[in-house]
Chain A
């Protein structure tokens, strides 16, 4: 069975204090690993898709990386508007659209 574990559950950073979120996964034949951001009461907002080990993608203060067992979401010099829950999900080969999600990391960035 596909599994996704995210750590830490919650993270509090000061503005400008860089850090990384971890997503460990076990899946039979990774088709894709997805990062989403979710604000309270809203649907997940797409951030990145990674397909193979060694791949990296960047967007503003965020950078996602992928190995064969885990993915990291690096946040550089975060701002208060980066506060949200960050969700990691995997899609296994042969499962059409089914995404298996982790429980998320709740990030709070303070001034």
Chain B
């Protein structure tokens, strides 16, 4: 079974721009969560989507948004990029149950200049 895939793997943007990241979950998985990983803050939860609806949200500003499509694929958007948004953005998928294990993709490395 193919794992979680994320595209692109690397991105370089400048301050003020916006960016869209994509995540394809494991086949059959209906829940997709997004995390931000930085050296200073570690892994932090951004939000979760299930059945095209945001089911849970972390403490990030409104510049961070996402959506999920009917095939469970998800996108995450960051508008008005700031230097502090430079991070590894990780997507994780799971079947659907609350206690199901989340499986992570390889991440998208975003650098904001």
Contact = CB atoms under 8 A, between A and B. Distances in A.
Nearest to B104: A43
Majority secondary structure of chain B interface residues (helix, strand, loop or mixed): strand
Q: How large is the interface on A (under 10, 10 to 19, 20 to 34, 35 or more residues)?
A: 20 to 34
A98 B101 contact: no
A45 B45 contact: no
Contact of B105 (A43, A91, A100): A43
A103 to B, nearest CB: 5
Contacts of A95: 56
Nearest to B45: A98
A62 to B, nearest CB: 16
Given A43-B106, A46-B101, A96-B98, A101 B42 contact: yes
Contacts of B42: 101-104
Interface of B: 4, 31, 33, 35, 42-45, 48, 50, 55-56, 58, 90, 92, 94, 98-99, 101-107, 109
